[in-house]
Structure 1
Amino acid sequence: MMRHLALMLACLGGLLLNGCRSDDSGRAMGTLERERLTLTAPASEIITDIRVHEGQVVRAGEVLLSLDSTHAEASVRVQQAQLDQANAYLSERTNGARQEELASAQARVEGANASLLEAQQQWQRATALRQQNLTGQADVDSATARRDSASAALDQALQQQRELTNGTRPEQLAQARAAVATAQAQLDNARRSLQELTLQAPADSVVDILPWHRGDRISAGSILVTLLSNSDPYARVYLPQNRLTGLTPGSHVSVQIDGLAQPLDGVIRSIRSQPAFTPYYALNERDRAALMYLTDIVFEGEALQQIVTLPSGRTLEVMLP
């Protein structure tokens, strides 16, 4: 039973391989294609509106569908509030201290100066009494401590007054401006994320695949819409390795498209450097001829005019040298 199953799988593999190869007449099969535009979901949201249907012709900038923007709008409001806060902080740093704050600082200096004067007088009296042995050393030490404390309080008040008078340091202003720039960038990013929830056609095209419905919840990165660009059509074929000799980008080949009486002259635009199917290193020398390379062929002039209205997917044959 296992031997019969293995034989069936081998036969099936042979049929698939022969289907990928060109026939012995030197022809390669392919299809007429146009550039595909794939639009993916920027976030995990619910589809709230669909304005197009499959097969519809759309113009660049036309709205295709919309996703729920509740969370994105809230994020914009949060970022706007943070920008307002950063701007207010920058204004505070730029404008400097208010007159009321300067007056309060001056009052603290005067109060500290008066306290120091009183503390010095008490220390002088305590020292004089000690010299007359009318008081103890503890009283002198206490008066000395009050004098030193009052002196330190005066220095602190003076430093605070100078800080308000001199204004904000350049480094602090730079930090405040950087905070504003960061908040502005975050707001711009939030607004861009909000705009991306409304998908627009990037170019004139036709809606090819639209697999979703209104109310569907989709995950970020899922394909929402596939468009076929109105760009010039081209032929896409798979060329076998043994037919690539002498063919390079720029080479001319004859292409017969179904529905046209005469073959057209095409120009090879690109040949993939890697085979489309089995990796090269996995094959022996005999099987390497079965490797298929994806090739794009473009048309120019009169040949292009003959196919510009043909639908994508039309089958064709390429005559190989």
Structure 2
Amino acid sequence: MRTMSAVWILLVLMVLSGCTDDRHRVFGVIERDRLTLTAPVNELIAQVLVHEGQQVKAGQVLIRLDATAAKARVQQADAELARVQAALEELKNGARVEDLAQAQAEVAGAEATLIEAESQLIRTQQLFQKKLVADRDLDVAKASRDNAKAVLDSANERLRELKNGTRSEQLAQGRAAVDSAKARLAEAQKVLADLTLVAAKKARVDVMPWRVGDRVAAGTQLIVLLAMDKPYVRAYLPETYLTKVKAGDHLPLYIDGQAQPIDGVVRTIRSQPAFTPYYALNERDRARLMYLTDIDLGAAGADLPTGLNLEVAVP
């Protein structure tokens, strides 16, 4: 009987030893991508629409900053665009009939003024020859004639410009002014849109310390989200296992209290050794270089909480 009992005990020990996973295990933590949203400008918080721990959908509005000043800048840029567009249309259309008629009238008036000035100069010259007027009077008559001639030349140039139409260089300047105004309007609209912070993907609000009425400076961290898709395990892999583990390998992940491991796929192994926190080391690992490794979780780990500790079995 004693012999049979010893045999059964030996068999049980052999079975248990065969079921034991003798692979090396490294420490790991479940992580998710963090999405940090910062304040684009120095402004007041107008609305806070979420709270810490809340699940949010892609595109859901999270926070709105006060947009009074931004809306005014958009209106200003829009008005400037309308002005330069109108100026460009005026250049394209050329002179109006009314402008041509006015220019022609100015030419006719300048011609009449010149005729009168020339007649006055002739009369003054005749009087000067008879010594009935002084030199000063003759100089004034000549100056009046020259001024009237200059006015006529200017009126003729103005009329010629209207008849010839807009120059290509002026059209190019007008188009450039319109493009510049459009760019300023787009920039103002972008600043206005950025005052409404939305979730880029399905996530959970992790940090939300601000309240309505708080003034935040540009670049201030407003909210931190944890992406709910694609959780992964971050572990430190000893250098001695670099030749045994590579990207794409499947590794079993052990969670405390669960008998069956879940499957993980190695996403990447950093090429440079990283500083290793004390809790990732044991007495055998302290003398080794450690490499940060990310392991994607399958569907079985999709609902596991961020920060959960587990062990990764490596060959």
* TM-score of Structure 1 vs Structure 2, range by shorter chain: 0.7 to 0.9
Equivalents in 2 of 1:42, 1:209: separation in Å?
Answer: 18
Report the CA distance between 1:231 and its aligned residue: 0.8
Q: SS state of the match for residue 187, structure 1?
A: helix
Corresponding residue to 1:180 among 178, 181, 189? 178
Equivalents in 2 of 1:107, 1:207: separation in Å?
Answer: 75
User: Does residue 47 of the first structure (1) align with residue 45 of the second (2)?
Assistant: yes
Amino acid at match of 1:263: P
Which residue of the partner structure matches residue 6 of structure 2?
A: none
> Equivalences for 1:1-321 in 2 at 5 Å?
26-124=24-122, 133-135=129-131, 138=135, 143-277=141-275, 289-299=287-297, 304-321=298-315
Which residue of the partner structure matches residue 11 of structure 1?
A: none
CA deviations 1:175-202 (Å, max 9, x no partner) are 1222122212211221221122121111
Structure 1 or 2, whichever has the larger Rg, is 2
Task: State how many pairs are aligned.
Answer: 284
Q: SS state of the match for residue 269, structure 1?
A: strand
Equivalents in 1 of 2:89, 2:73: separation in Å?
Answer: 24
Q: SS state of the match for residue 26, structure 2?
A: strand
Amino acid at match of 2:238: P
Equivalents in 2 of 1:59, 1:291: separation in Å?
Answer: 41
CA deviations 1:127-180 (Å, max 9, x no partner) are 6777xx535894666555444333222111100111222222222122122212
CA deviations 1:14-53 (Å, max 9, x no partner) are xxxxxxxxxxx73221111222222111112222221211
Amino acid at match of 1:230: M
Equivalents in 1 of 2:286, 2:271: separation in Å?
Answer: 14
Q: SS state of the match for residue 220, structure 1?
A: coil
CA deviations 1:97-147 (Å, max 9, x no partner) are 3333322211111122122223344455566777xx535894666555444
Report the CA distance between 1:253 and its aligned residue: 2.9
Equivalents in 2 of 1:32, 1:232: separation in Å?
Answer: 11
* Normalised TM-score (structure 2): 0.79
Over 3 Å counting, the alpha-carbon distance change for 1:52 and 1:159 in structure 2 is: same
Report the CA distance between 1:227 and its aligned residue: 1.5
For structure 1, which segment, 114-123 or 196-205, has the greater mean C-alpha deviation from structure 2 after superposition? Answer: 114-123
Mapped contact 1:241–1:289 kept (Cα < 8 A): no
Q: RMSD across aligned C-alpha pairs, in angstroms? A: 2.8
Q: SS state of the match for residue 307, structure 2?
A: coil
Amino acid at match of 2:157: Q
Over 3 Å counting, the alpha-carbon distance change for 1:293 and 1:158 in structure 2 is: same
Mapped contact 1:51–1:65 kept (Cα < 8 A): yes
Report the CA distance between 1:288 and its aligned residue: 9.8
Equivalents in 1 of 2:153, 2:44: separation in Å?
Answer: 64
Equivalents in 1 of 2:134, 2:287: separation in Å?
Answer: 111
Mapped contact 2:262–2:301 kept (Cα < 8 A): no
CA deviations 1:232-285 (Å, max 9, x no partner) are 22111122334323433223433223343223343221122333328xxxxxxx
* Normalised TM-score (structure 1): 0.77
Mapped contact 1:47–1:217 kept (Cα < 8 A): yes
Over 3 Å counting, the alpha-carbon distance change for 1:86 and 1:31 in structure 2 is: same
Q: SS state of the match for residue 168, structure 1?
A: coil
Which residue of the partner structure matches residue 21 of structure 1?
A: none
Gaps of 5+ in 2: 1-22, 277-284
Equivalents in 1 of 2:211, 2:161: separation in Å?
Answer: 64
Over 3 Å counting, the alpha-carbon distance change for 1:240 and 1:216 in structure 2 is: farther
